[in-house]
């Protein structure tokens, strides 16, 4: 900003907006948030003096760093606030967001490449690629911890079993996964983890696990798996989103009572 203007010069909303390169609506929004405090002329119009110009310059400089307006307001109003500390903390947040965005871009590029590759395949190869992509996503999300917990041999056997599924078996697996969510809602509505709906839920979940584990299925391992859902926000969010708050806890209780 040009702070060499004559002392006491005041600007209208439109004048200051043009000078600062912002909209009049933005200036009014800043006023509503308590960031700017223009005076009122005798005709009732807002006017901005040198202090407002300096304040707006500070606001725009901080906005250029993507600082939230609420943070800017705190910095402007609190004389004890440390701008450097705030910016350093904000920089850490931006770098974390940058990494997340970079990872998302990489995943999207991989997905696009996979789609392009799949589109050029015949039906059999396309189906195989879909299964392979599903396993790749599983390995990327859960692979390390699953292998640490169950061992490489068990996970490799599960992956081989999934890759061997026919199209009908694959579709049945997906349908069963969705049906489990519906059955969980029905069982929760009964409010009885030992009732008929809960028993059907347990049978359906067992079938779904057997699709993945095959002859390696074991009741105690199955129960240990679902109990682990309670400590894993990814699974808790998945089942709670499907059936409402408490869905994961009810699933565990139903399986404990009926497997």
Mean of the pLDDT values across residues 94-113?
83
Residue-level pLDDT at 101: 87
CA dihedral 173, 176, 181, 182 (to 10 degrees): 160
Question: In this prediction, what percent of the chain has a pLDDT beyond 90?
Answer: 36
Two structure tokens written together for 186: 């029905």
Residue-level pLDDT at 226: 92
Q: Poorest-confidence range of 9-13, 81-85, 254-258?
A: 81-85
Mean of the pLDDT values across residues 187-214?
93
How many helices (H) and strands (E) in the chain? Answer: 13, 2
Two structure tokens written together for 82: 């440390």
- Yes or no: say if 9 and 65 are a contact pair by the CB < 8 Å rule: no
- Yes or no: say if 87 and 65 are a contact pair by the CB < 8 Å rule: yes
Is the sign of the CA dihedral 99, 103, 109, 112 positive or negative? Answer: negative
Question: Which stretch, 53-62, 164-173, 195-204, has highest mean pLDDT?
Answer: 195-204
This model's pTM is above 0.75 = no
Helix 219-229 vs helix 196-213: crossing angle, to nearest 10: 110
Interatomic CA distance for residues 172 and 177, integer angstroms: 9
pLDDT over threshold 90, residue 145: no
Two structure tokens written together for 81: 């606030």
- CB proximity list for 198: less than 8 A, separation 6 or greater: 187, 190, 192, 250, 253, 254, 257, 258
């Amino acid at each position: 900003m040009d702070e060499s203007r004559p002392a006491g010069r005041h600007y209208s909303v439109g004048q200051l907006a043009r000078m600062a390169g912002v909209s009049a609506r933005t200036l009014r929004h800043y006023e509503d948030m308590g960031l700017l405090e223009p005076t009122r002329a005798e005709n009732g119009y807002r006017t901005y003096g040198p202090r407002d110009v300096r304040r707006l310059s500070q606001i725009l400089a901080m906005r250029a760093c993507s600082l939230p307006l609420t943070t800017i307001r705190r910095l402007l109003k609190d004389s004890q606030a440390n701008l450097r500390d705030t910016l350093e903390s904000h920089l850490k947040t931006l770098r974390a967001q940058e990494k997340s965005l970079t990872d998302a871009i990489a995943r999207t590029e991989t997905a696009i490449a996979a789609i392009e590759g799949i589109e050029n395949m015949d039906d059999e190869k396309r189906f195989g690629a879909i299964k392979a992509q599903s396993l790749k996503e599983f390995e990327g999300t859960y692979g390390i911890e699953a292998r640490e917990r169950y061992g490489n041999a068990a996970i490799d056997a599960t992956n081989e079993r999934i890759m061997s599924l026919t199209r009908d078996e694959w579709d049945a697996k997906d349908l069963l996964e969705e049906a489990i969510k519906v059955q969980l809602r029905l069982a929760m509505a009964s409010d009885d983890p030992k009732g008929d709906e809960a028993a059907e839920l347990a049978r359906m979940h067992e079938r779904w696990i057997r699709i993945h584990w095959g002859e390696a299925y074991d009741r105690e391992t199955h129960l240990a798996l679902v109990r682990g859902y309670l400590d894993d926000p990814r699974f808790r969010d998945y089942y709670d989103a499907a059936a409402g708050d408490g869905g994961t806890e009810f699933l565990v209780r139903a399986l404990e009572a009926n497997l």
